[in-house]
Amino acid sequence: MSATKKIQTALVSVYYKEGLAPIIERLHHLGVKLLSTGGTKTFIESLNIPVTGVEDLTDFPEILGGRVKTLHPKVFGGILGRRADASDVAQMDKHDITAIDLVIVDLYPFEETIANTTNEADIIEKIDIGGISLIRAAAKNFNDVVICASKDKYDYLLRLLNARHGETDIEHRRFLATHAFNISSHYDTAIFHYFDNSNIDRVGALKISNQNCNILRYGENPHQKGVFYGNIDDLFTKLNGKELSYNNLLDVDAAVNLMNEFTATEPTFAILKHNNACGLASRSTLLQAWTDALAADPTSAFGGVLISNTEVDEATATEINKLFFEVIIAPSFSDAALGILKQKINRVILVQKNIQFASTTVRTALNGYLVQDKDLKTEIEINITPATTLEPTALQIQDLIFANKLVKHTKSNTIVIAKNKQLIASGTGQTSRVDALQQAINKAKNFGFELKGTVMASDAFFPFADCVEIAHKEGIDTVIQPGGSIKDKDSIDYCNNNNMCMVMTGTRHFKH
């Protein structure tokens, strides 16, 4: 079997015709016989190029409002017939089936349709039957047939036709077949999700398909390969800097999810390092928010990811520019601020768009995947239940809610200490809650903070009274925690006996 094949007959039937004309003209110049249907046939005729309708090939008309056009043995036999198989060739000769060497077919825009309408009749009509069948048939028989399954490969096909004068090698055909199966599997996944998401009883299958492949410089470490599947341009406009790294992307994800907790009515600034906030403050001006966020841990801020919920102005940019950092994110930047921040050519500057994030999380585990609802619950004042005799003041409630938002986005086990809507210190990723508290206390003292009058938030309940006892001895007098321990009473009793205030939310916020 020869690996090189000459294209003599082509079937062309596409939804997207932009960029198709040069291919048609080249095929005509090469003497390739063209077969087509409907609007594509009309398009080819408008180029003054001869074309045979599929209905003339099959001697059978389009029926059912165009639902059946190409589903015929003379079409699929011409594609699937194996040229090196004597039996296939004999049957093709017997039934007067013309070999089809090139198939240019795309699919109805199903994903675009569900994004723009809820009319199920319109959606169902965009489930392609003939196109998907032609693509799979041509890809299956890649030994003999070239398949171009989307407009994304028009340029590749045209270059191939120009360079090889209508001949292809097995490597070209196999590459295009791989692309075709990627197109067909992605299409079927989108259809599956449409039906599965609308069912009361879910099928219970995990199907993920993303066509946007971005090769990263490396993964978490230089010896690891890394790829990001997604379109970052849907989320941000990049104004400056190098490509985001694997670790940058994780930090950016953590940053935007944290900042999503804070409305733009109050300027808020956060600094993140390794997915955890090392600085956070809400203030009347962004400059003050930046100053107080940095104060929590100016050491960890070096090389971090910064995010603001309001426009970055010149005054704030001037101070930020004194620090080395990797990425800054904001809804906008003043011209003067950009002029300052762009002084570092590798510094990534991102304008965040108004987008909706996924409602589920997926991660690999053992030989499978863990899928869960995203932790989208954010406690507000009505979700807080006083557990002690002493109840918090209005200002303390604001700080408790502030600290609890942060604890939700910090790696467990964690304790967050805050005051006046400023992160004072946090203990992150510890194997015990006591260790997390001690880490936070030591960190606060190292950076010169007074702990008296601060509030403490915990991501999970206190199994013993030790944490509230340690906190009290350091001057922390107000606590927020989920509750739910069989020994909640021990912590409550300690607080009542020592004039402390404790509230419970009923919601745990573990984060791994």
Q: Tell me the catalytic residues.
A: 140, 274
Which structure tokens are listed for 377? 């619950």
The answer to whether residues 32 and 10 touch, using CB atoms and an 8 Å cutoff, is yes
Spatial separation of the C-alpha atoms in residues 455 and 461, rounded to whole Å? 16
Helices 86-94, 73-80: crossing angle, 10 deg rounding: 150
Spatial separation of the C-alpha atoms in residues 429 and 410, rounded to whole Å? 8
Backbone angles phi, psi at 286, to 5 degrees: -65, -35
Which structure tokens are listed for 281? 């403050």
Spatial separation of the C-alpha atoms in residues 11 and 92, rounded to whole Å? 17
Which structure tokens are listed for 359? 């409602």
The answer to whether residues 209 and 190 touch, using CB atoms and an 8 Å cutoff, is yes
* DSSP-assigned letters across all residues of 209-240: ----EEE-S-SSSTTS--EEES-GGGTEEEEE
SS3 assignment, position 92 = helix
Which structure tokens are listed for 210? 């993303």
Spatial separation of the C-alpha atoms in residues 17 and 46, rounded to whole Å? 12
* DSSP-assigned letters across all residues of 314-363: HHHHHHHTTS-EEEEEES-B-HHHHHHHTTSTT-EEEEEP-----SEEEE
How far apart, in Å, do the first and last CA atoms of the chain sit? Answer: 55
Helix boundaries (H) for 260-333: 286-295, 314-320
Residue that is written with structure tokens 């300027």 in the block: 267
Does 221 sit behind a cis peptide bond, omega within 30 degrees of 0 on the bond before it?
no
Q: Cα 74 to the chain's mean position, in Å? A: 43
Backbone angles phi, psi at 60, to 5 degrees: -145, 130
Spatial separation of the C-alpha atoms in residues 285 and 37, rounded to whole Å? 63
